[in-house]
Structure 1
Amino acid sequence: MALSSGTRSLFGELASWGAAAAILIVGVVHYDTLRGGLNEALGIADLPATSEPQSANALVESTSTPVSHSGREELRAQQDGHYYARAEVNGRLLDVMVDTGASMVALTYEDAERAGLNLKPSDFTGRVSTANGTAAVAPVMLDRVSIGHVQVRNVRAAVCERGKLEKTLLGMSFLSRLERVDINQGRLTLIE
């Protein structure tokens, strides 16, 4: 039995989202390993730990004013070695972690609501494994994602079901659309 072109197209789209979800899973599950290997390959030393832990909110606040030029933003690594920023997603400000190890933008359910995405249970068509167990995800298209002067339109993303993702990740579906992404001496530079 031959499949119609619409059915073939649907299967192709499902396969693409499945592959994206698999890459996201690998990125989330093996993030520390991938990051350590990247730092070693680039010759970047891990940042020393301090005796005073900082909350993720404090880290975001300290990076909410990145060094910027038109079409360029620079973020500094925080004490935990991660890059945090305040991103505008669909016109709403969200605290995110910029994650070169994530294949795509992954939104927490709560951040998706803040960004104006009204999801129904039937929208959660994919399944991924996270550090918090298996989660259902809803594939979405974000109109606009920006950090300061760096902006990308029509960004593919996935929304995790409530409680399955601790922080929104700004992954490669955003970063790969930039002209350049550089990591050097604890600074992440994004160039549009």
Structure 2
Amino acid sequence: MSSATVSLFGSFALAAVGAAGLAYTLTHPGVLAGFVERAKATSGLTQQASLGQTNGALTSTEEAPRRQSGVVTLPAGDYGHFQAEADINGRDIGVMVDTGASLVALTYEDARRAGISVMPSDFTHTAQTANGIARVAPVTIQRISIGDITVRNVAGVVSERGASERTLLGMSFLGRLSRVEMRGGTLVLQE
């Protein structure tokens, strides 16, 4: 087994663990809140220390602007899905945020638009999708940006032509952010 294959399997495993942890955290917010409270207590932080300071006035993070440097807030769309325009290798591509996807999964057509070319012989792996098992080509995406957030050298896959309808922004991107938080009908991403 080549070192590239071992590295790819390692990336898949790391992304799967990250997806499971994020899914658990999103479905059990009390666990994370308890952890944060214990961390504050052991580090001596007070409620005031957890609030932002602006011109001498304290403001809670709830009152912060919807768009800050390195922070993007996405409203839920149809059926509760979070969609965005991402800049992938310099091309605007519509994506759906999918915490259940281990990797960024590009449609064949979106990959071509982003300058990623794959040959039929590149479809060496399979992936479980909502529509069943699909053949995919592993790739490294040079750059993905959403708003002020940019992540470089992102592991991804390209699906066969016509096999998928939408590019999915999975955990290989989301797992590299410092914060991914669902709050009401919004998704907050922070670099």
Report the residue type matching 2:168 in the other structure: L
1:81-107 residue CA offsets vs partner (Å, 9 max, x unmatched): 110000000111000001112111011
Separation of aligned partners in 2, 1:41 and 1:18: 24
1:94 has 2:113 as partner: no
Separation of aligned partners in 1, 2:5 and 2:84: 36
Alignment of 1:26-175 (within 5 A): 41-42=28-29, 67-175=66-174
Q: How many residues align?
A: 153
Q: Which residue of 2 aligns with 1:9?
A: 3
1:127·1:135 contact (CA, 8 Å) conserved in 2? yes
Separation of aligned partners in 2, 1:97 and 1:178: 16
1:133·1:164 contact (CA, 8 Å) conserved in 2? no
1:130·1:164 contact (CA, 8 Å) conserved in 2? no
**Distance 1:177-1:14 versus aligned 2 partners, 3 A rule:** closer
**CA deviation after TM superposition for structure 1 residue 157, in Å:** 0.4
Separation of aligned partners in 2, 1:143 and 1:116: 10
Report the residue type matching 1:190 in the other structure: L
SS of the residue aligned with 1:80?
Answer: helix
1:131-175 residue CA offsets vs partner (Å, 9 max, x unmatched): 333321010001100101011011000111112112111011001
- Deviating above 4 A after TM superposition, structure 1's stretches of 4 or more consecutive aligned residues are 17-21, 37-40
Report the residue type matching 1:129 in the other structure: Q
Report the residue type matching 1:98 in the other structure: V
SS of the residue aligned with 2:105?
Answer: strand
Rg larger in structure: 2
**Distance 1:111-1:11 versus aligned 2 partners, 3 A rule:** closer
> How does the TM-score come out when normalised to structure 1?
0.70
**CA deviation after TM superposition for structure 1 residue 14, in Å:** 5.3
Separation of aligned partners in 2, 1:90 and 1:113: 11
Percent identity between the aligned chains? Answer: 52
Q: Which residue of 1 aligns with 2:58?
A: none
**CA deviation after TM superposition for structure 1 residue 129, in Å:** 3.1
**Distance 1:129-1:178 versus aligned 2 partners, 3 A rule:** closer
Separation of aligned partners in 2, 1:95 and 1:160: 16
**Distance 1:8-1:122 versus aligned 2 partners, 3 A rule:** closer
SS of the residue aligned with 1:173?
Answer: helix
> How does the TM-score come out when normalised to structure 2?
0.70
2:74·2:82 contact (CA, 8 Å) conserved in 1? yes
Aligned-pair Cα RMSD in Å: 2.6
